[in-house]
Amino acid sequence: MGTPVVSEEIRAYFAGLLKQVQATYAIARAARTRGFDPELDVEIPLTDDLASRVERLLENYEVEGVARRIRELAKTHDREELAILVAKEMAVRPATSKEKAVERAVRVGLAILTEGILVAPLEGLAGVKIKRNRDGSSYVDLSYAGPIRSAGGTGQALSVLIADIVRRELGLGRYVPTREEVERFKEEIPLYRQAQHLQYTPSDEEISLIVSNCPVAIDGEGTEDAEISGHRDLPRVETNRIRGGACLVIADGMCLKAPKIQKHVKKLHIDGWEFIDEYLARKESRPEDMKDELGVEPSEVFIQNIVAGRPVLCHPSRPGGLRLRYGRTRATGLAALALHPATMHILDDFIAVGTQIKTERPGKAGAVTPCDRIEGPLVVLDSGDFVEVTDAETAKRLTPRVRVIADLGEILVPFGEFLENNHVLMPGAFSLEWYGALLRAKLGPLPDGWEDVDGPQAVAWSRDLGIPLHPRHNLFFHDFTVEELTRVRELIAAQGRIEDGHLVVPGDEEPREWLVRLGATYRVQGDHVVVDRHTAALLAALGIESGPPMRLAPAPANTDPLTFVSELAGFPVKARGPTRIGARMARPEKSAPRKMQPAPHSLFPIGHEGGAQRLLLEAASKETIEVEVGLRICSSCGKRWFLPKCSCGGHTVSRNGPTRQRIPLADVLRTALDRTGESKPADIKAVQGMISRTKTPEPIEKGVLRAKHDVYVFKDGTTRFDMTNLPLTHFTPEEVGISVETARRLGYARDRSGRPLEREDQTVELRPQDIVVARSCGEYLVRVAGFIDDLLERLYGLGRFYEAKSPEDLLGHLVVTLAPHTSGGVLARIVGFTDANACFAHPYLIAARRRNCDGDEDSVILLLDCLVNFSRAFLPDKRGGLMDAPLVLTTRIDPNEIDKEAHNLDVMPAYPTSLYEAAERFAHPKEIEPQIDTVSKRIGSVLQYEGFMYTHETSDVAQGPLASAYGEGSMAEKIDKQLELALRIRAVDPNDVVARIVVHHFLPDLIGNLKAFSSQQVRCTKCGEKYRRIPLRGKCLACGGNLTLTVHESSVKKYLEISKRISQQFEVSNYLRQRIDLIEDAITSLFTNDKTQDLKLDDFF
């Protein structure tokens, strides 16, 4: 805690941010004093460290002074110990009851564990009660709610441990469950697993062990509509509905994080938790065939839930799939991975910059960024030529001619991803950087052009120096058996010849097939094919003397293909692609305004008077309307009013609860139009009703001005723009669209090597709270800035602030970045724009929001918009209502207080060869970690903010497709493109793809819609009111409008025909075809009356 260690340059950077924030806060406070908003001051407190965030977040729980104590203890304890110790101290503070003392302590501990930015401490813990066991002794009952999910397994598990420690301090007893309470969880957790995702589903024995022995009761609110069928109406359980929060805490918390509980229990010498030792002992003693295989066997997890229209790139570990290569670019890490931009284009542009892919390993998913320094795809063209695609422009030109994608190229994965996912290292490609290190060890300084030497020179170096074959001339020998390799060498010797230094073989199917499998590119010449650059390496590795005539060296007696070719060659031959990583497309990239459904301009309630589109002008035509709004009293004249600003000019204060009131909407709108100077307003869309506790509306003026600038309001009063998260540690002014002069103005005076910044192609290191946003975001924020300027000038009577006419005018301005599952914003500064549909940000900024780059998307809000327009008075009055709201604002990131995933980011210019060697034997990343420069080693030093390096350069971090092809065309067209691509990719089984699409997407949709049709509501076409049953009047009871169905026949049938078509076109099981037939019969019987039929007159003759 305290001020982080920084260089003078970074200190000046943070000071500049703080100065800007303070100036913006001053303007916002001046606006708030005008009285048009629910509160007279800005409602977002500034915080600069974890301690202050925790105290601000829990300010309603009597935690004054806890920030000081957190800072003191943080000097000598890690985060988890800190949470336990502070919670223990909070327990003995004076409180109105022991229940309140326990609740406060657990919330504080949970807030520390979640860095003070998550809503879990506020809403994940629904409450704490002290109940009685059958023997009359007391025990603590923890009631969890759905938002506890955001705390993660560690927070969930340690909150239970903290509660046990606290109840001991307060002299409370231990929970003694009844048999029925234990048995209920055995039914409840599997039921919850059917409704929501669980990382781990414990067995009945594990559930019994945990619940029977846990010293505090894990309880919760009912979160799902489904109810348990057995063990209902238990005296000490308040609901029969599934308790999602409690299930999460037991399964993902207590079970998955048992080792962490064990560590703290042993360190603090806490008794009563011996059952955790027993649980872990049972896990260790499972039969070998039930244990995980450390991820070295092919895994189908990533491919289990294929979505229609989103292609499979490669099946698990298949030859021709993505080849693992170790390295980090400027835009990878924190789960983001890199593909060659040519690969992205060759895949019919389905994979764009920022597109999420589900992967076989090391993690579950990652966002895609480009790297044109790795190997691209190998493809067979319509001419029959087999070529390597080395750049994006060539890929775009050749894509229509591709008939087979024989190899997808490499996927660049940082070492830190294996470390973060606790995955054993997998053998990586024998890459140029590995080869260069071996060559340098033999020759000293590397000769010019060593990266792309010809075949004879590559073979000569290997023979003379005893080093493996050059990567540019290596082939996929490891994909063959020795018998197959023997067949290949015999065929070459018998039918091949050398012309102009190139191997020529017959153009029959067999030679072409094995050349494709080897990855040896060729061109077709008449009835023969001519091997390109791989001739010398191929002949050497197969022990063939070029002759003429060609002669075969004696074949060694060996069953391993790499050993076989190495002995024939007389030098080592490494595997070109020893690890293939399966992948499929998941979510497309995103760059779009955040909108509610339907999207309003104003948080002003108009009931049903605005029609289906909820138009404010239409409602105002009725002069007065009756809606439910909060009752407020003017502090100056005592008048009852519903808006924060009284007609007398005074500010109103909320009193009592909301009531139905008749409000003079026409008069209020006329006043707003006069004040804003808008005589002919655009269509202003409002809301039917407020969902907050006090139901306080916004001033109509804000809606008028938003409609003018075509921007929309979110539930908390702010205007947001969502983008996919991508990491960035370095950039060039050129690729983010700024000049050298602008870069210097923003504080980037030197490049990453310390040289003065003079050219737009120099690489500079990104500051920790700077972001590069999508150009579409910049254009939207210009409109938001115009709205804010008009608001300041016309409503608040202040000067304009942004004066932005183009996105470039926003460079250097501050924004609030916010993740949906958090309740704390993080300050950022715009320093550039990208054509990609994503937001590039420093890994620290992303981790400060407890996010990563596996496809997550977060929002940005102009700082002044956030400070002026956000109010808690607008937030929904329901569980989870505080999520996705900037309740606090972090102004300075401390690397020690961010999500620990960022600490595993590797920041070195080159990996040691020991990493590649360790990967060949499947070593654990912890073994090699001491030799890798990661962020964790820099925490607490001046280098924790700067001096980061990367192993692989890339020409442009936004190179490649900018928008996924998934966003184009109808669903039928997307599916056709998906299957066409599956047929072209050698590493994909199209029949399996079809079967999975039907089973995991189409059938559940058909069955679900069929069920929904039978139990649907009806909706009023005029006001939108919904009814579970059609009223006896046959009309809407609210407005008399006509009623219509909410689920239609077309939506039920939408996937039926395509399911039938693709199941016939591809080879799927008869069982699957019969399932489709049965569903078709069910749909037909529902929508076709088999007792009546249409007849023509001719039918009677």
Give the pLDDT score at 715: 95
Q: Show Cβ contacts of residue 483 under 8 Å, excluding neighbours closer than 6 positions.
A: none
Angle at 1008 between CA 1005 and CA 1014, to 5 degrees: 135
3-state secondary structure of 897: helix
Q: Give CA–CA dist 823/151, Å, rounded.
A: 12
Q: What are the two backbone dihedrals, phi and then psi, of residue 698, each rounded to the nearest 5 degrees? A: -80, 160
**Tokens coding 563:** 């050993």
Give the pLDDT score at 1100: 59
Burial code of 251-275, b = ≥16 C-beta within 10 A, e = fewer?
bbbbbbbbebbbebbeeeebeebeb
Q: How big is the chain, counted in residues? A: 1101
Q: Give CA–CA dist 834/248, Å, rounded.
A: 39
| 342-363: pLDDT as tens digits | 999 999 999 999 999 999 999 9
Nearest Cα neighbor of 46 from 863, 893, 888 is 888
Q: What are the two backbone dihedrals, phi and then psi, of residue 383, each rounded to the nearest 5 degrees? A: -80, -10
| Average pLDDT value for residue range 108-116 | 93
Give the pLDDT score at 287: 47
| 1064-1094: pLDDT as tens digits | 999 999 999 999 999 999 988 888 766 656 6
pLDDT band at 293 (very low <50, low <70, confident <90, very high): very low
| 205-218: pLDDT as tens digits | 999 999 999 999 99
**Tokens coding 201:** 């589903």
3-state secondary structure of 1015: coil
Give the pLDDT score at 249: 96
Give the pLDDT score at 39: 95
| 399-458: pLDDT as tens digits | 999 999 999 999 999 999 999 999 999 999 999 999 999 999 999 999 999 999 999 999
Could you list the beta-strand ranges (E) of 185-319.
Answer: 217-220, 312-314
Domain map (residue ranges) of the chain? 49-289, 301-429+951-967, 435-576, 599-709, 721-912+931-944, 989-1087
pLDDT band at 1 (very low <50, low <70, confident <90, very high): low
| Average pLDDT value for residue range 251-279 | 93
Give the pLDDT score at 608: 86
Going by their DSSP bridges, the two strands 764-765 and 730-731 should be labelled as antiparallel
3-state secondary structure of 772: strand
| Average pLDDT value for residue range 896-925 | 95
Q: What are the two backbone dihedrals, phi and then psi, of residue 1066, each rounded to the nearest 5 degrees? A: -120, 165
Q: What percent of the chain has pLDDT over 70?
A: 98
Give the pLDDT score at 294: 42
Give the pLDDT score at 426: 96
Does the pTM surpass 0.75? The reply is yes
Q: Could you give the angle at which helices 1056-1065 and 1003-1014 cross, rounded to 10 degrees?
A: 160
For residue 665, the surrounding DSSP H or E stretch is: helix 665-676
- Cα-based distances in Å from 476 to 407, 435, 915: 11, 17, 22
Over 50: is that where the pLDDT of 504 sits?
A: yes
- Using the structure block, give the residue that is written with the tokens 């326990």: 102
Over 80: is that where the pLDDT of 635 sits?
A: yes
Residue type, 257: K
Q: Give CA–CA dist 830/785, Å, rounded.
A: 14
- Using the structure block, give the residue that is written with the tokens 């050059």: 470
Q: Give CA–CA dist 43/40, Å, rounded.
A: 9
Give the pLDDT score at 414: 98
| 136-172: pLDDT as tens digits | 999 999 999 999 998 999 999 999 999 999 999 999 9
- Using the structure block, give the residue that is written with the tokens 């063990």: 231
Give the pLDDT score at 2: 56
- For residue 2, the tally of other CB atoms under 10 A from its CB is 13
- Fill in the DSSP letter of residue 1041: -
Nearest Cα neighbor of 1023 from 1004, 1013, 1038, 1011 is 1038
- Fill in the DSSP letter of residue 269: T
For the chain, the average pLDDT equals: 93
Residue type, 90: M
Over 60: is that where the pLDDT of 292 sits?
A: no
| 812-838: pLDDT as tens digits | 999 999 999 889 999 999 999 999 999
- Fill in the DSSP letter of residue 542: T
**Cβ distance 299 to 970 under 8 Å?**
no
| Average pLDDT value for residue range 95-112 | 95
**Cβ distance 142 to 160 under 8 Å?**
yes
Least trusted range by pLDDT, from 121-125, 893-897, 1037-1041? 1037-1041
Domain 989-1087 CATH (choose: 3.20.20.60, 2.20.28.10, 3.30.450.30, 3.90.1150.10):
2.20.28.10
Q: What percent of the chain has pLDDT over 90?
A: 84
Give the pLDDT score at 204: 95
pLDDT band at 238 (very low <50, low <70, confident <90, very high): very high
Q: Give CA–CA dist 996/993, Å, rounded.
A: 5
Give the pLDDT score at 816: 98
Angle at 473 between CA 472 and CA 479, to 5 degrees: 105
Q: Give CA–CA dist 616/785, Å, rounded.
A: 23
Give the pLDDT score at 373: 96
Q: Give CA–CA dist 33/41, Å, rounded.
A: 7
Q: Give CA–CA dist 521/265, Å, rounded.
A: 61
pLDDT band at 295 (very low <50, low <70, confident <90, very high): very low
Number of H helices, E strands in the chain: 35, 37
DSSP string, 692-717: BSS-PPPPHHHHHHHHHHT----TTS
**Cβ distance 860 to 777 under 8 Å?**
yes
Burial code of 84-113, b = ≥16 C-beta within 10 A, e = fewer?
bbbbbebbeeebeebbebbbbbbbbbbbbb
Over 80: is that where the pLDDT of 471 sits?
A: yes
Exposed/middle/buried for 281, CB within 10 Å: 0-12, 13-18, 19+?
exposed
User: Distance between alpha carbon 149 and the CA centroid of its chain, in Å?
Assistant: 15
